[in-house]
Structure 1
Amino acid sequence: MADLTITDVRLTPVLISDPPLLNVQGVHQPYTPRLVVEVVTADGTTGVGETYGDTKYLELARPYAELLPGHSVADLNGLHTLAQQVGVDDARVEHAIDVGGLRGVQTADKLRLSVVSAFEVACLDALGKAYGLPVHALLGGKVRDHVEYSAYLFYRWAAHPGGAGESDDWGAALDPAGIVAQARRFVRDHGFRSFKLKGGVFAPEQEIAAVRALAEAFPGQPLRLDPNGAWSPGTSLRVAKELEGLLEYLEDPAPGTSAMAEVSAGTDVPLATNMCVTTFPEIRQAFLTDAVQVVLCDHHYWGGLRNTRELAAVCRTFGVGLSMHSNTHMGISLAAMTQVAATVTDLDHSCDSHYPWQTEDVITRRHTFEDGRLEVSDAPGLGIDLDREALDRLHRRWLDEAAYGAMRDRDDAAAMRRAEGREDWTAPALPRW
Structure 2
Amino acid sequence: MTEGTYSTGTRIRELIVTPIAFRDPPLLNSSGVHEPLALRCVLQLVLEDGTVGLGESPGGSARLERLQTAAKEVVGRDVFDTTALLAAVDDALLPSVPSSHERGWTTSAIEVACLDAQGKLTGRPVSDLLGGRVRDAVPFAGYLFHKWAEHPALDGRPAAGDSWGEALDPAGIVVQARLMHERYGFESFKLKGGVFPPEQEIAAIEALREAFPDAPLRLDPNTAWTVETSVQVAERLHGVLEYLEDPTASIPGMAGVARSTGLPLATNMCVIAWEHLRPAVEQNAVQVLLTDHHYWGGLRRTRELAAVCEAFGIGLSMHSNSHLGISLAAMTHVAAAVPNLHHSCDTHYPWNAADDIVRPGVLEMRDGAVRVPTGPGLGVELDHAALDRLHRLYLESDIRDRDDAGYMRRVDPGFEARLPRW
1:361 aligned residue (356, 377, 400)? 356
Provide the rounded CA distance (Å) in 1 between the counterparts of 2:137 and 2:183.
Answer: 18
1:138 aligned residue (116, 129, 146)? 129
Is 2:54 aligned against 1:48? yes
Is 2:275 aligned against 1:278? no
Instruction: Decide whether the 8 Å contact of 2:147 with 2:167 is kept in 1.
Output: yes
Instruction: Decide whether the 8 Å contact of 2:100 with 2:273 is kept in 1.
Output: no
Provide the rounded CA distance (Å) in 1 between the counterparts of 2:282 and 2:403.
Answer: 34
The answer for the alignment partner of 1:129 in structure 2 is 120
Instruction: Decide whether the 8 Å contact of 1:332 with 1:384 is kept in 2.
Output: yes
The answer for the alignment partner of 2:161 in structure 1 is 167
Matched pairs, number: 411
Q: CA offsets, 1:135-165, max 9 Å, x none?
A: 0111110011010000000000000111557
Matched letter for residue 356 of structure 2 = D
The answer for the alignment partner of 1:341 in structure 2 is 335
Q: CA offsets, 1:19-55, max 9 Å, x none?
A: 0000000000100110001101111100000011100
Is 2:393 aligned against 1:397? yes
Instruction: Decide whether the 8 Å contact of 1:60 with 1:86 is kept in 2.
Output: no
Instruction: Decide whether the 8 Å contact of 1:15 with 1:394 is kept in 2.
Output: yes
Q: CA offsets, 1:96-136, max 9 Å, x none?
A: xxxxxxxxxxx632221001111100000000000100001
The answer for the alignment partner of 1:375 in structure 2 is 371
The answer for the alignment partner of 2:221 in structure 1 is 227
Provide the rounded CA distance (Å) in 1 between the counterparts of 2:416 and 2:205.
Answer: 27
- SS of the residue aligned with 2:110? helix
The answer for the alignment partner of 1:99 in structure 2 is none
Is 2:420 aligned against 1:426? no
The answer for the alignment partner of 2:400 in structure 1 is 408
Provide the rounded CA distance (Å) in 2 between the counterparts of 1:16 and 1:158.
Answer: 18
Q: Residues 99-114 of structure 1 correspond to what in structure 2 (within 5 A)?
A: 108-114=99-105
CA RMSD of aligned residues (A): 1.4
The answer for the alignment partner of 2:29 in structure 1 is 23
The answer for the alignment partner of 1:257 in structure 2 is 251
Q: By how many angstroms is 1:363 displaced?
A: 0.6
Matched letter for residue 147 of structure 2 = R
Provide the rounded CA distance (Å) in 1 between the counterparts of 2:202 and 2:415.
Answer: 25
Instruction: Decide whether the 8 Å contact of 2:90 with 2:107 is kept in 1.
Output: no
Q: CA offsets, 1:288-326, max 9 Å, x none?
A: 111000000000000100000000000000000000000
Summarize the Cα distance change of 1:70–1:165 in structure 2 as closer, same or farther, 3 Å threshold.
farther
- SS of the residue aligned with 2:107? helix
Structure 2 unaligned spans of 5+: 1-5
Provide the rounded CA distance (Å) in 1 between the counterparts of 2:176 and 2:308.
Answer: 36
Provide the rounded CA distance (Å) in 1 between the counterparts of 2:132 and 2:393.
Answer: 39
Matched letter for residue 427 of structure 1 = A
Provide the rounded CA distance (Å) in 1 between the counterparts of 2:212 and 2:11.
Answer: 52
- SS of the residue aligned with 2:284? coil
Provide the rounded CA distance (Å) in 2 between the counterparts of 1:165 and 1:253.
Answer: 33
Provide the rounded CA distance (Å) in 1 between the counterparts of 2:285 and 2:101.
Answer: 21
The answer for the alignment partner of 1:387 in structure 2 is 383
Q: CA offsets, 1:37-82, max 9 Å, x none?
A: 1101111100000011100101111111011111111111123311
Instruction: Decide whether the 8 Å contact of 1:60 with 1:88 is kept in 2.
Output: no
The answer for the alignment partner of 1:38 in structure 2 is 44
Instruction: Decide whether the 8 Å contact of 2:147 with 2:166 is kept in 1.
Output: yes
Structure 1 unaligned spans of 5+: 94-106
Instruction: Decide whether the 8 Å contact of 1:15 with 1:408 is kept in 2.
Output: no
Matched letter for residue 184 of structure 2 = H
Matched letter for residue 390 of structure 1 = A
Summarize the Cα distance change of 1:89–1:21 in structure 2 as closer, same or farther, 3 Å threshold.
farther
Instruction: Decide whether the 8 Å contact of 1:79 with 1:116 is kept in 2.
Output: no
Q: Residues 75-94 of structure 1 correspond to what in structure 2 (within 5 A)?
A: 75-87=81-93
- SS of the residue aligned with 1:66? helix
Provide the rounded CA distance (Å) in 2 between the counterparts of 1:87 and 1:44.
Answer: 27
Provide the rounded CA distance (Å) in 2 between the counterparts of 1:88 and 1:345.
Answer: 33
Aligned-pair identity (%): 54
Q: By how many angstroms is 1:167 displaced?
A: 3.1
Instruction: Decide whether the 8 Å contact of 1:17 with 1:165 is kept in 2.
Output: no
Is 2:299 aligned against 1:308? no
Q: CA offsets, 1:233-252, max 9 Å, x none?
A: 11001001111110000000
Is 2:191 aligned against 1:197? yes
- SS of the residue aligned with 1:295? strand
Instruction: Decide whether the 8 Å contact of 2:255 with 2:284 is kept in 1.
Output: yes
